[in-house]
Amino acid sequence: MRFAAIGLDHRHIYHMVGGLLEAGATCVGFDPATGDERVLSGFRERFPDLPESTAERLIDDPAIDLIVCAAIPAERATIAIRAMRAGKDVMVDKPGVTDFDQLAAVEQVVAETGRIFSICFSERFTVPATIIAGKLIADGTIGRVVQTLGMGPHRLNRAIRPGWFFDKRNYGGILTDIASHQIDQFLHFTGSHDAQVVASGVGHFGVPDLPGFEDFGEVLLRSDRASGYIRVDWFTADGLPTWGDGRLTILGTEGTIELRKYVDIASRSGTDHVFLVDKAGTRHIDAAGEPLTYFRNLVADIANRSETAMSQRHAFTVCRLALEAQAKAAWLPARSRVT
Q: 2-120 maps to which CATH number?
A: 3.40.50.720
Q: What pLDDT band is residue 337 in, cutting at 50, 70 and 90?
A: low
Q: What is the pLDDT of residue 266?
A: 82
Q: Does domain 124-292+325-332 have CATH number 3.40.50.970?
A: no
Give tens-digit pLDDT for 287-298.
999 999 999 999
Domain boundaries, given as residue ranges, for the chain:
2-120, 124-292+325-332
Q: Does an H or E element contain 318, and which?
A: helix 312-327
Q: What is the pLDDT of residue 16?
A: 98
Q: What pLDDT band is residue 74 in, cutting at 50, 70 and 90?
A: very high
Q: What is the mean pLDDT of residues 60-68?
A: 98
Task: Check the CA dihedral 283-287-289-292 and report its sign.
Answer: positive
Q: What is the three-class DSSP state of 97?
A: coil
Q: What pLDDT band is residue 181 in, cutting at 50, 70 and 90?
A: very high
Q: Is the pLDDT of residue 103 over 80?
A: yes
In sequence order, what DSSP letters do the residues of 187-239 get, joined into one string?
HHHHT-S--EEEEEEEE--S-TT-TT---EEEEEEE-SS-EEEEEEES---TT
Please report, rounded to a whole number, the percentage of residues in the chain having pLDDT higher than 90.
96
Please report which residue ranges of 218-293 form alpha helices under DSSP H.
none
Give tens-digit pLDDT for 3-15.
999 999 999 999 9
In sequence order, what DSSP letters do the residues of 16-33 get, joined into one string?
HHHHHHHTT-EEEEE---
Q: What is the pLDDT of residue 67?
A: 98
Helices and strands in the chain: count of H runs, count of E runs: 12, 14
Q: Cβ contacts of residue 291 below 8 Å, gap of 6+? A: 128, 131
